[in-house]
Structure 1
Amino acid sequence: MAKASTRTDRPAKKARTEVKAAKPRARFSEPEPTKEKPPKKSVEREVKEVASTPKNKGKAKEINPPEAKTSEEELPTTFKVVAGSYEKLLYGAEGKTTYSDDDKLQFHLKAIFAFPAHVSCIKAVAASPQGGKWLATGSADEIIKVWDLRRRKEIGGLMHHEGSVTHLIFPSRSHLLSASEDGTLCLFRARDWAVLRALKGHKGRVNSMAVHPSGKVALSVGKDKALRMWDLMRGKGVASTKLGKEGEIVRWSVDGKYFVVQSGSTIDLYNTDMTLLHTIQHPSRLHDVKFCQRVSGEGEVLLVGAEDKKLSIYDISEDSSHPPTIIAQMVGHGNRVKAVQTLRIALPPASGRTSTTIVTTVSSDGKIRVYDMYSIPAAFEKVTEIEPVAEYDTNGTRLTCVTVADGDIASSEPTNGKRKHDKEGTDEEDVNGDDDFDGIGSSDEDDEMEDEEEEEEEEGEEE
């Protein structure tokens, strides 16, 4: 990534973020490990309780996930794909769509960077939603690197974990959640990259975590064969249950009504009452799963990447008595599909479609591939094979993880090159009255001010 130029005719600005030694303040007492027992509460009940706590000395603001965007003008017209690898390299590509004179919608991927980002293999990448400003990368070197994706600049390293970083999520544009082999989850505040909470409870490696669409509750699975529930508004564990096997991946459905736990070649589908609805036995070893809303038709599908070199699409019926079935397969990779991510984007008006959802996969074959969710049939007749619409070849690099970030935002209103931000509901205090811990529903106002200052600084450097 390009280094920011230094001006000698003016004093250097002090960095706004200090990320290399951020630790919880001494006044914080870390929650005691959750005892092994079946959860007394369902996820649905816990979310409702958090939201209905009397006044909470503040507002229990919900964090809208990227999928919750409804206005076509808020959707990005371009996107950025970032992938990590065993070879410690980080790859970035910019994607866009065009509509040609021969009435054909085309997708394009152009490489924008490739460089060694860590001293060990990269295991996790995540981009912040609602603008795609921040990029976080986690590695076996136990460090989380933070990057300003818009300016392609490294901000610093978060060195709180004492084990390999296994998973990263931005529950909101102003908070980062991490998981590690040291058995903990950490919640960071993007404003200053301070650690708000270190969530302890797992005995051994945490493999995966998932934040409920409301932003209030998270689930995690690990080597201890436990499924744990965390209250992100209060920053503590609230329940746990034994799965009887090691969960490798946990994921929420887009509407928050279901979640899945993957182990080996098996996927267990649960509802929010922790009732096991179905068990999917996939033909080969699984590496990643993700729920996604349909573009054609109603409902959701489950995207499953596996050793069989395909991304299989399972139909999730709204009738919970109907088992999930494969309706399509995204093909083209020459090796195992390691990771999958999705993003809804705006399309050129001339195409006749206002938007679509892209599916991005990475594989051990070194290829980054993009698919169009519009190709998934609305009604099942036979298993459809779907070819990629764009591709980026890293020349044999063994890719491990991928994230997709917003690019330019479609807008009919002039913004002078600056992003529009939602100013509503920005006041938030801790539900326990602790001014230092404000949960993940905290204010984005400081982040917006920082955005504007950085844009002014960039304009000054260009002049």
Structure 2
Amino acid sequence: MPRASKLRNKRDRNGDRNDDRNGDSATIDDSREKSSRKKRIVKEPEPEPESEKDKIKENKKNTKTNVKKSENNNVQAEVDKGKNKLKDNVFISNHSIISTGDFRIITGSYERILYGIDARWIKEDNDQADKDEVKLQLEPLFIFSAHIGYIKTVAASGRYLASGSTDEIIRLYDLKRLREHGSLHHHNGSITTLCFYSTTHMLSGSEDGLVAIWRTKGWECLKSMKGHKACVNSIAVHPSGKMALSVGKDGAAIVWDLVNGRKGAVWKIRKEGEVVLWNTSGEFYAILSRNEITIYNVADAQVSQTITQKSMFLCMRYYKDDNIGEVIITGSEDKIIRAFDVNTGKCIVEFSGHKNSTGLLTFRILFCPTRLTQQQRIKSLDIIRSNRPFLSIPITLLVSISSDGIVNVWNLSSALEKIKPDKVAQINKVIASHDTANRLICVVCAEGGKSKLGEGSVQRDGGEESKDIDKDNKEDDTDDESD
């Protein structure tokens, strides 16, 4: 073959290879361009929704509670963040306030409601009212569900309020800051009685038969004492603070040595003791049992006086008057409050002013008419001294609650002045009344005053108020020093 034709064939073969290569490269470029366009068109995947477990973990982190454990492993004091806080409600009034909350009334009910009432001395805002004429006004301060069981007992001393319930928990509240302080978990039964000694210690009793001693600084359980074989109904601390007396469903009365934290004398009484109280001097104590109140002398443990009546006793309070001496004030099933002379055992004053509230009365007639009379019982009493404006001498007030939801305030000082020989004084006028619309069980009075929130301010739910009990008590010490 000639040389020229060979060269032409070689060039043709090389050209075909180059064309194939160029075609392949073009195909690759086209595919790359298409893939790049697809990448630009495809949307970014949406983030996966959080699982329920992640949400629960996040909520636990946000609502983490601070817990203070004492040396006793059975005792746990916890502070809840943003839960069941006391809120200072704002109310509009047509009266001019003379004093900011002279005292407070706190009640517990079957509806698990802790109901706080602010009691203030006010004067009418009109020209006809006398400058020195004042009256007591009761306004709600806080209303909230405090427990998951009904509230059986409340107690207050200084800045602290304690409530006990059938849910076996003791709730603590700071009345100065108007918020929940913590809760105590120790008893294995309904909390039946709470009792403060001064502002330093508190005693608690339960259906488990235990009597526990608590120190308010740190809320440590100092001692848990076993003595009753059944429910502890009532505890009373001697005025000296060195001993206490308790009664229970087992029909026993027990003296407790509070200095050494141990059980003392034990003796059986004829009936189940429901309430026990010391007199103001600590020389006598009284035990209430249904239709009878027995007063004992501490010196010889002999019966000093016995008070009886047809209607069942439900509650009682000791009171010492400067003129007539000591009296025992009782509340009964017949919705009558009576004051008895402890020396003679005779009734000297009757208070009759509790009547059914309209709303609850209608409900009971329609749905439970057989229990109508039972809903008018006087369930609990408390006594407090009050400084009324324009008067240099304080007066003594009696606060009573009934099962129909009514809170009544009586002028006890004025009532005892009306006593006449061989005649029972009749008092049917209250100085203030409030309808809670709850079936009330217990009541306690506490000193009033401005809170740390300041006058006119409101503490809302969810505020940054969560601290553990140790931190709170450090602040309490600082506040006490400044006060």
Q: Identify whether the pair has TM-score above 0.5, normalized to the shorter chain.
A: yes
Deviation digits for residues 336-386 of structure 1, max 9, x if unmatched? 0000011112222x23x4201111111101011111111223443322222
Q: CA deviation at 1:22?
A: 4.7
Q: CA deviation at 1:136?
A: 0.3
**Is structure 2 residue 421 aligned with structure 1 residue 384?**
no
Q: Which residue of 2 aligns with 1:263?
A: 289
What SS is found at the alignment partner of 1:375?
Answer: helix
Q: CA deviation at 1:456?
A: 11
> Are residues 355 and 77 of structure 1, via their aligned partners in 2, closer, same or farther at CA, if it must alter by over 3 Å?
farther
How far apart, in 2, do the equivalents of 1:336 and 1:389 lie?
20
How far apart, in 2, do the equivalents of 1:336 and 1:261 lie?
20
Q: Which residue of 1 aligns with 2:229?
A: 203
Q: Which residue of 2 aligns with 1:366?
A: 405
Deviation digits for residues 302-344 of structure 1, max 9, x if unmatched? 1100101011111223xxxxx2211111221131000001111
1:122 pairs with one of 141, 148, 151: 151
**Is structure 2 residue 119 aligned with structure 1 residue 95?**
yes
Amino acid at match of 2:266: S
Q: Report % sequence identity.
A: 39
How far apart, in 2, do the equivalents of 1:93 and 1:282 lie?
32
**Is structure 2 residue 72 aligned with structure 1 residue 24?**
yes
CA RMSD across the alignment = 2.8
**Is structure 2 residue 303 aligned with structure 1 residue 276?**
yes
How far apart, in 2, do the equivalents of 1:156 and 1:111 lie?
23
> Are residues 207 and 103 of structure 1, via their aligned partners in 2, closer, same or farther at CA, if it must alter by over 3 Å?
same
Contact map agreement 2:101 2:118 (CA 8 A) in 1: no
How far apart, in 1, do the equivalents of 2:184 and 2:479 lie?
22
How far apart, in 1, do the equivalents of 2:264 and 2:413 lie?
39
Contact map agreement 1:18 1:192 (CA 8 A) in 2: no
Structure 2: give runs of 5+ residues left out of the alignment.
1-61, 75-99, 124-128, 356-375, 455-470
Deviation digits for residues 363-420 of structure 1, max 9, x if unmatched? 101011111111223443322222211111112x1100001001139xxxxxxx9xxx
How far apart, in 1, do the equivalents of 2:399 and 2:252 lie?
30
How far apart, in 2, do the equivalents of 1:374 and 1:248 lie?
28
**Is structure 2 residue 353 aligned with structure 1 residue 332?**
yes
Q: Which residue of 2 aligns with 1:315?
A: 341
Higher Cα Rg, which structure: 2
Q: Which residue of 1 aligns with 2:57?
A: none
How far apart, in 2, do the equivalents of 1:358 and 1:24 lie?
41
Contact map agreement 1:142 1:159 (CA 8 A) in 2: yes
Q: Which residue of 2 aligns with 1:426?
A: none
How far apart, in 2, do the equivalents of 1:143 and 1:452 lie?
26
Deviation digits for residues 27-82 of structure 1, max 9, x if unmatched? xxxxxxxxxxxxxxxxxxxxxxxxxxxxxxxxxxxxxxxxxxxxxxxxx9710110
Amino acid at match of 2:431: V
Q: Could you say which structure has the higher helix fraction?
A: 2
Q: CA deviation at 1:24?
A: 2.5
Contact map agreement 1:22 1:160 (CA 8 A) in 2: no
Q: Which residue of 2 aligns with 1:71?
A: none
How far apart, in 2, do the equivalents of 1:191 and 1:119 lie?
27
Equivalent runs, 1:136-215 vs 2, <5 Å: 136-215=162-241
Contact map agreement 2:305 2:342 (CA 8 A) in 1: no
Q: Which residue of 2 aligns with 1:85?
A: 109
Q: CA deviation at 1:283?
A: 2.3
> Are residues 23 and 276 of structure 1, via their aligned partners in 2, closer, same or farther at CA, if it must alter by over 3 Å?
farther
Deviation digits for residues 73-92 of structure 1, max 9, x if unmatched? xxx97101100001111100
2:435 pairs with one of 393, 405, 412: 393
Contact map agreement 1:93 1:110 (CA 8 A) in 2: yes
How far apart, in 1, do the equivalents of 2:304 and 2:386 lie?
32
Q: Which residue of 2 aligns with 1:106?
A: 135
Q: CA deviation at 1:175?
A: 1.2
Equivalent runs, 1:37-76 vs 2, <5 Å: none
What SS is found at the alignment partner of 2:416?
Answer: coil
**Is structure 2 residue 386 aligned with structure 1 residue 355?**
no
How far apart, in 1, do the equivalents of 2:70 and 2:274 lie?
29
Q: CA deviation at 1:18?
A: 4.5
2:444 pairs with one of 400, 403, 406: 403
Amino acid at match of 1:384: A
How far apart, in 2, do the equivalents of 1:447 and 1:213 lie?
28
How far apart, in 2, do the equivalents of 1:314 and 1:139 lie?
31
Q: CA deviation at 1:103?
A: 4.0
2:254 pairs with one of 207, 223, 228: 228
Aligned residues: 348
Instruction: Give the TM-score, by structure 2 length.
Output: 0.67
Q: CA deviation at 1:206?
A: 0.5
Q: CA deviation at 1:106?
A: 1.6
Relative contact order, higher structure (CA 8 A, sep 6+): 1
Contact map agreement 1:222 1:248 (CA 8 A) in 2: yes
Contact map agreement 2:398 2:412 (CA 8 A) in 1: yes
Instruction: Give the TM-score, by structure 1 length.
Output: 0.70
How far apart, in 1, do the equivalents of 2:377 and 2:167 lie?
24
1:301 pairs with one of 327, 332, 336: 327
